Amino acid sequence: MSQQLTQIGPLSQPVDIADAASFSAEVEKEIDAHLAKYPVKRSAILPLMFVVQRERGYLDPPGVAYLAQRLGLRITDIWEVATFYSMLNTKPVGKYHIQICKTLSCKIMGEAKITEHVCQRLGIKPGETTADGKFTVSLVECLGSCGTAPMFQVGFDYHENLTPEKVDQILDSLP
């Protein structure tokens, strides 16, 4: 049999380890508050990653360098954690990240119709970002909204019991 290959995206981005990012005093305070919760600094890695991701859009090289410095870790430590969790982005995503739940309850309650509608409206496929960088659409696993299926999350906001009309309203309301 000839070798059949499915290419998996190269994992390591060709980046040089950049100068560390810096943040406002307010953000630094937030970070200090997270760090204060734990006896071990490293424990704050996920909360801090969310802060960096919020501030910088994704875990970009300066953000990663910042995390390593702030947590006293090696760059590899940041990388191994960042790539494990599906909510952490090591590549840029759109301003609005539409995450449509595709797991069983949503699936049987009409996820396909919602996905089709969203994709048609935005002109992209799941996994893609609109050219203007405004929207990214992803299919994700169960978000704990099975009783209110189908649903999606835009960023952290839950939108449930979706219908195509409701989707239009939601998307129209995004600035």
Residues within the interface to other proteins (CB under 8 A): 1, 3-8, 10-17, 37-47, 49-50, 61, 64, 71, 74-81, 83-88, 102-105, 107-109, 140-149, 153, 156-158
Nearest to 103 by CA among 160, 150, 155: 150
Q: How far apart are CA 73 and CA 13, in angstroms?
A: 19
Nearest to 65 by CA among 122, 33, 17: 17
Please report, as a single letter, which amino acid is at residue 147: G
Q: Smallest distance, Å, CB 97 to other proteins?
A: 11
Q: What is the DSSP string of 18-78?
A: -PPP---HHHHHHHHHHHTT-SSGGGGHHHHHHHHHHHHSS--HHHHHHHHHHHT--HHHH
**Residue closer to other proteins (CB basis): 46 or 119:** 46
Q: Smallest distance, Å, CB 123 to other proteins?
A: 26
**Residue closer to other proteins (CB basis): 105 or 130:** 105
Q: Smallest distance, Å, CB 146 to other proteins?
A: 3
Q: Smallest distance, Å, CB 86 to other proteins?
A: 4
**Residue closer to other proteins (CB basis): 112 or 123:** 112
DSSP symbol at 146 = G
**Residue closer to other proteins (CB basis): 131 or 173:** 173
